[in-house]
């Protein structure tokens, strides 16, 4: 770790800056609270934290004072000095620091590494920046409770989070991105726009309101249509099964802690966490021939997963969910063709929504089941399909599931955040567990390969991601209310309703605001609701069969014949036009999560 700073990778530089910033924060905290007990202070993705036991709760009002003292340590340009100490010396030095003493016991060998900057010495494996000046672009963000070692039986500590970057510009971009993320938070927008909510009686399950449900169903219809167009058939199976089904599928042994298990009538039942097992039953429900393959079976089943309450987060992490799930039963030589088709569907769907994505291929792990020749064939087919798609992809050697290789699709929203939504997972095992066969052309019985696939993944989550991606201002086709007609006076109410009924007849989601309010007030309200089209009608418009149009995206558009506007709205809905401005994050740095995770583990 002695290489000069300019040779370090960007992420290694940031790692050091952030780790050092956490030490500088501890330096400041000890000045304010000399009796503070220090736990750990690692760098994390985009920043750092330090866990403290303090005599009183810290609030954001304290940040200014802490930041001021940090800035002083930084402008003093303290040097970070590393020393190896015998454990005995470290125990003596940290004798009033119980968490450090516990950490020392966990370190192998007779010595421990320490880092000192100015008056502060920490038990630390490093590495750090050379001098504190490197850390000047930082900001404290929030404070939260955290159990020592993540164990709720251990003391609750105060975790102070901050962010640090190598330039002022990067810091400002990041803070701007955080503001933007807060503004777009789907929980806040879902409430303001009356899309959906949550109730304490059903933790982790979405309560859809009429507006959100209309939009959700539109999204679901799109995915259904995409499947129909690509030769899928759709089934719908029960939610509740005897546990035997999951014993056969393997979920009972390997996934039980995520399942809701019920006892009734001397039987053990489970709510299905996935559609795979019941889709296998469908395949098996009659004798199958090679002529039916590839057999593409979709199911928008209702799934339940027993996520810990602490892990639930708005609609992005839920207990009850619906996925645009499908299973494709193929012969071995059909794999490549199906993957090509799937990559095309993903590109179409994500392109439609202005989402970018990255592809990753995960190959055979050491511990795997099935015929090596089948693995080779499948991996070659996946690679050939990926190469033919012309997209760049990453290969994670040995990272596949034990039962088959997979392609992961990470979508990137407009803030540059990654979400895992789509998957393409090959499965050599499940068809064997269910003893699925088809009659091959030579009349022999053969086992199909199963491809599990989803494009949106969990629709509740995908919808929430879209709410944030569009900041609640959906493209017209997806908007909960697509147009609103505002009558200037009561005299135009009839005309307003006539136009609304005409649009409704064509399936447009339209409202009339015929309240006795000022037009300016009505427009402002419609804008707050982010309705794509506002049609203002007064006496002149009623007379001429026109409307004064305001659009959420383009503002004032002037007066036009109603028929022309109707044609435009219908065309945008029909073609699912992306008629919104999509914010683009200026964030220069997109980091690899894994790399950072690994770095977090390395430091202490
Ligand atoms: Zn450290
Ligand atoms: Zn599946």
pLDDT tens, 521-557? 999 999 999 999 999 999 999 999 999 999 999 999 9
Neighbours of 294 (CB within 10 A): 17
β-pairing, 483-487 vs 510-513, is parallel
Whole-number pLDDT of residue 180: 85
Q: What distance in angstroms lies between residue 337's CA and the mean position of ligand 1's atoms?
A: 51
* Alpha carbons 600 and 604: distance in angstroms, whole number: 8
Catalytic positions are 276, 305, 323, 325, 327, 406, 452
Euclidean distance between the first and the last CA atom of the chain, given in angstroms as a whole number? 16
Contact status, residue 100 vs residue 38, Cβ threshold 8 Å: yes
CATH class of 476-575: alpha beta
Q: Residue 464: is its pLDDT beyond 80?
A: yes
Q: What distance in angstroms lies between residue 417's CA and the mean position of ligand 1's atoms?
A: 27
Q: What ligand has the least distance to the C-alpha of 49?
A: 1
| DSSP string for residues in 110-139 | SEEEEEEETTEEEE------SBGGGG-EEE
Q: What distance in angstroms lies between residue 497's CA and the mean position of ligand 1's atoms?
A: 67
Verify cis geometry, omega within 30 degrees of 0, for the bond prior to 127. Answer: yes
Q: Residue 598: is its pLDDT beyond 50?
A: no
Whole-number pLDDT of residue 317: 87
Q: What CATH topology corresponds to 5-181?
A: 3.30.980
Gyration radius from the chain CA atoms: 29
CATH code of 190-237+275-362+406-469, in short, is 3.30.930.10
pLDDT 10s digits, 14-65: 999 999 999 999 999 999 999 999 999 999 988 999 999 999 999 999 999 9
Tell me the three state secondary structure of residue 321. Answer: strand
Binding residues are 276, 327, 452
- Buried b / exposed e over 401-423, threshold 16 CB at 10 Å, is bebbbbbbbbbbbbbebbbebbb
Q: What distance in angstroms lies between residue 115's CA and the mean position of ligand 1's atoms?
A: 7
ipTM score for this prediction? 0.76
Q: What ligand has the least distance to the C-alpha of 41?
A: 1
Across the strands, what pairs with 284?
A: none
Whole-number pLDDT of residue 150: 83
Cα dist from 90 to 25, 33, 107, 116, whole Å: 21, 21, 12, 13
pLDDT band at 115 (very low <50, low <70, confident <90, very high): very high
Whole-number pLDDT of residue 343: 96
Contacts of residue 168, defined as CB under 8 A and 6 or more positions apart, other chains included, come to 137
* Alpha carbons 398 and 408: distance in angstroms, whole number: 14
Q: What ligand has the least distance to the C-alpha of 117?
A: 1
Whole-number pLDDT of residue 48: 95
Q: Which of 10, 9, 20 is nearest to 167 (CA)?
A: 10
Whole-number pLDDT of residue 418: 86
Tell me the three state secondary structure of residue 518. Answer: coil
Verify cis geometry, omega within 30 degrees of 0, for the bond prior to 218. Answer: no
Q: Residue 596: is its pLDDT beyond 70?
A: no
Whole-number pLDDT of residue 417: 82
Contact status, residue 359 vs residue 391, Cβ threshold 8 Å: yes
Q: What distance in angstroms lies between residue 399's CA and the mean position of ligand 1's atoms?
A: 31
Binding residues for Zn(2+) are 276, 327, 452
> Taking the domains of the chain in order of start, what are their residue ranges?
5-181, 190-237+275-362+406-469, 476-575
């Amino acid at each position: 770790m002695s290489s000069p700073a300019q040779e370090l990778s960007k992420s290694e530089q940031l790692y050091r800056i952030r780790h050092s910033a956490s030490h500088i924060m501890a330096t400041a905290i000890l000045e304010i609270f000399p009796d503070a007990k220090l736990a750990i202070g690692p760098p994390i993705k985009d920043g750092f934290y330090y866990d403290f036991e303090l005599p009183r709760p810290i609030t954001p009002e304290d940040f200014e004072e802490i930041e001021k003292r940090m800035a002083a340590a930084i402008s003093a340009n303290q040097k970070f000095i590393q020393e190896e100490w015998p454990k005995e010396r470290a125990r003596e030095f940290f004798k009033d620091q119980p968490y450090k003493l516990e950490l020392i016991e966990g370190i192998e060998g007779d010595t421990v590494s320490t880092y000192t900057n100015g008056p502060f010495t920490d038990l630390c494996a490093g590495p750090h920046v050379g001098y504190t000046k490197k850390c000047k672009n930082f900001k404290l963000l929030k404070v939260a409770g955290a159990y020592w070692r993540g164990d709720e039986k251990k003391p609750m500590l105060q975790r102070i989070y901050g962010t640090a970057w190598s330039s002022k510009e990067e810091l400002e971009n990041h803070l701007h991105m955080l503001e933007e993320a807060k503004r777009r938070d789907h929980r806040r927008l879902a409430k303001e726009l009356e899309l959906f909510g949550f109730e304490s009686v059903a933790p982790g399950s979405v309560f859809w309101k009429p507006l959100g449900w209309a939009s959700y169903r539109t999204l679901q219809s799109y995915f259904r249509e995409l499947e129909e167009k690509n030769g899928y058939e759709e089934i719908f199976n029960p939610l509740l099964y005897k546990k035997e089904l999951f014993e056969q599928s393997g979920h009972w042994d390997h996934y039980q802690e995520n399942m809701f298990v019920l006892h009734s009538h001397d039987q053990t039942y489970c709510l299905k966490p996935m559609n795979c097992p019941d889709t296998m039953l469908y395949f098996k429900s009659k004798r199958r021939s090679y002529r039916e393959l590839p057999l593409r079976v979709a199911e928008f089943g209702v799934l339940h997963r027993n996520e810990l309450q602490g892990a639930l987060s708005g609609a992005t992490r839920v207990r009850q969910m619906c996925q645009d799930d499908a299973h494709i039963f193929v012969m071995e030589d059909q794999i490549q063709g199906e993957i090509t088709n799937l990559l095309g569907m993903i590109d179409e769907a994500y392109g439609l929504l202005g989402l970018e994505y990255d592809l990753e291929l995960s190959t055979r792990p050491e511990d795997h089941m099935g015929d090596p020749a089948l693995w080779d064939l499948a991996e070659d087919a996946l690679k050939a399909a990926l190469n033919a798609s012309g997209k760049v992809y990453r290969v994670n050697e040995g990272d596949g599931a034990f039962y088959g290789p997979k392609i992961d699709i990470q979508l990137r929203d407009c803030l540059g955040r990654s979400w895992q939504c789509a998957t393409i997972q090959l499965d050599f095992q499940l068809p064997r567990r269910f003893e699925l066969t088809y009659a091959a052309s030579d009349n022999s019985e053969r086992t199909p390969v199963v491809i599990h696939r989803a494009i949106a993944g969990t629709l509740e989550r995908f919808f929430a991601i879209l709410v944030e991606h569009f900041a609640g201002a959906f493209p017209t086709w997806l908007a909960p209310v697509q147009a609103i007609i505002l009558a200037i006076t009561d005299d135009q109410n009839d005309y307003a309703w006539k136009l609304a009924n005409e649009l409704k007849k064509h399936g447009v989601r339209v409202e009339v605001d015929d309240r006795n309010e000022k037009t300016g007030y009505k427009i402002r309200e419609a804008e707050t609701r982010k309705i794509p089209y506002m049609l203002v009608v007064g006496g002149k418009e009623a007379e001429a069969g026109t409307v004064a149009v305001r659009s959420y995206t383009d503002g004032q558009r002037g007066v036009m014949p109603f028929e022309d506007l109707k044609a435009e709205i219908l065309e945008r809905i029909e073609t699912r036009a992306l008629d919104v401005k999509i914010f683009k994050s200026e964030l220069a740095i997109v980091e690899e999560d894994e790399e950072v995770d690994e770095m977090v583990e390395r430091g202490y």
